[in-house]
């Protein structure tokens, strides 16, 4: 088996899997979820299967590119953070040159898929690229870098919705807002595990920015998500299945907030809460598919 010629003996294939985060599928799925929310809602629960495949593959390629770009930006910072010090570029299991090539290939795959979409949606894909490329640098200059990530996540909604309708409407923006707030909520939770390392290194995060009010901020983000999803359900007349899924999601978020109010939690708990949000998102997706009144 081929091994990396640099400082570790890890097989290249294994290092590439970790670079693309394919060993942690929850991070790939949680980006795909808002894209599928938008796709199924815009298509009244019945999107064309080729388009579903395009959106799924596109989200995988985009998230892969985003992960690699993030690791390229942070290759000298990640070794100082407990959670990230073993990433392939941080540990020098892979070289910068390999990282650049992998990022280019992933972005090229996403670009090829984007050509399948209508012109308006294609240009939305183009508009998302600078946000994806600049997000990793935001933590150095912007006090709430998770907001930049949330906006990048929101493009998944705009792209998928317009891929069906070739336009953006009030329901699109309601779902976009819910996605941005939801992402701010779960990614701020995730950032709480890195607070001490981030403070020591001198990089920004929403968990540091909100300080002792971080749980209040997360509560506000999740409450805003519920309000916007409720409004969306009313506007497009979703039926009981959506409301059941939203009730389950709301209970899940309330439970997370309750646990966050406890004294300092072990760092792995924040990661567990992040993964719980994947399940909440999937439950909402099922509710949106079944609950579409036009099915």
Q: Residue 179 above 50 pLDDT?
A: yes
Q: Which CATH number do you get for residue 177?
A: 1.10.357.140
Q: Per the domain annotation, does 159 fall within a domain?
A: yes
Average pLDDT of every residue of the chain: 90
Q: Per the domain annotation, does 264 fall within a domain?
A: yes
Question: Can you give the pLDDT at residue 81?
Answer: 82
Question: For residues 72 and 106, what is the distance between their CA atoms, to the nearest angstrom?
Answer: 14
What's the pLDDT band for 53 if we cut at 50, 70, 90?
very high
Q: Per the domain annotation, does 2 fall within a domain?
A: no
Q: Residue 95 above 50 pLDDT?
A: yes
Residue for token digits 């997000």? 135
Q: Which domain holds residue 266?
A: 12-290
The secondary structure of the chain as a DSSP string is --B-SSS---BHHHHHHHHTTTT-HHHHHHHHHHHHHHHHHHTTT---HHHHHHHHHHHHHHHHHHHHHHHHHTTTTGGGSTTTTTSTTTTTSS-HHHHHHHHHHHHHHHHHHHTTS-HHHHHHHHHHHHHHHHHHHHHHH-S-HHHHHHHHHHHHHHHHHHHHHSS--HHHHHHHHHHHHHHHHHHHHHHGGGHHHHHHHT---HHHHHGGGHHHHHHHHHHHHHHHHHHHHHHTT--HHHHHHHHHHHHHHHHHHHHHTSS---HHHHHHHHHHHHHHHHHHHHHHHHT-TT-
Q: How many CB atoms lie within 10 A of CB 229?
A: 28
Q: Per the domain annotation, does 5 fall within a domain?
A: no
Q: What mean pLDDT is predicted for residues 165-173?
A: 96
Q: Per the domain annotation, does 250 fall within a domain?
A: yes
Encoding tokens for residue 136? 């990793």
What's the pLDDT band for 9 if we cut at 50, 70, 90?
low
How many domains does the chain contain in total?
A: 1
Question: Can you give the pLDDT at residue 7?
Answer: 47
Q: Per the domain annotation, does 4 fall within a domain?
A: no
Question: Can you give the pLDDT at residue 6?
Answer: 45
Q: Per the domain annotation, does 228 fall within a domain?
A: yes
Question: Can you give the pLDDT at residue 8?
Answer: 54
């Amino acid at each position: 088996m081929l091994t990396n010629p640099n400082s570790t003996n890890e097989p290249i294939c294994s290092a590439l899997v970790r670079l693309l985060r394919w060993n942690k599928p929850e991070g790939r799925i949680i980006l795909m979820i808002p894209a599928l929310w938008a796709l199924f809602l815009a298509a009244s629960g019945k999107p064309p299967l080729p388009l579903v495949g395009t959106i799924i593959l596109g989200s995988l390629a985009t998230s892969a590119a985003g992960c690699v770009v993030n690791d390229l930006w942070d290759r000298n910072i990640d070794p100082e953070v407990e959670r990230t010090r073993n990433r392939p570029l941080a540990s020098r299991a892979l070289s910068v040159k390999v990282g650049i090539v992998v990022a280019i290939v992933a972005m090229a795959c996403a670009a090829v898929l984007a050509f399948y979409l209508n012109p308006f949606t294609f240009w939305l894909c183009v508009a998302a690229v600078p946000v994806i490329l600049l997000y990793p640098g935001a933590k150095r200059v912007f006090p709430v870098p998770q907001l930049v990530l949330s906006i990048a996540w929101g493009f998944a909604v705009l792209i998928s919705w317009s891929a069906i309708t070739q336009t953006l409407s009030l329901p699109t923006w309601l779902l976009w807002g819910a996605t941005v707030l939801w992402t701010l909520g779960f990614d701020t939770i995730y950032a709480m595990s890195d607070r001490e390392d981030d403070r020591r290194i001198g990089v920004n995060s929403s968990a540091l920015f909100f300080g002792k009010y971080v749980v209040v901020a997360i509560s506000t983000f999740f409450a805003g998500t519920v309000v916007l999803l409720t409004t969306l359900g009313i506007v497009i007349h979703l039926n009981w299945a959506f409301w059941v899924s939203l009730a389950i999601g709301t209970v899940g978020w309330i439970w997370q907030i309750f646990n966050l109010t406890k004294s300092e939690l072990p760092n792995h708990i924040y990661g567990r809460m992040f993964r719980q949000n994947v399940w909440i998102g999937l439950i909402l997706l099922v509710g949106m598919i079944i609950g579409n009144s036009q099915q």
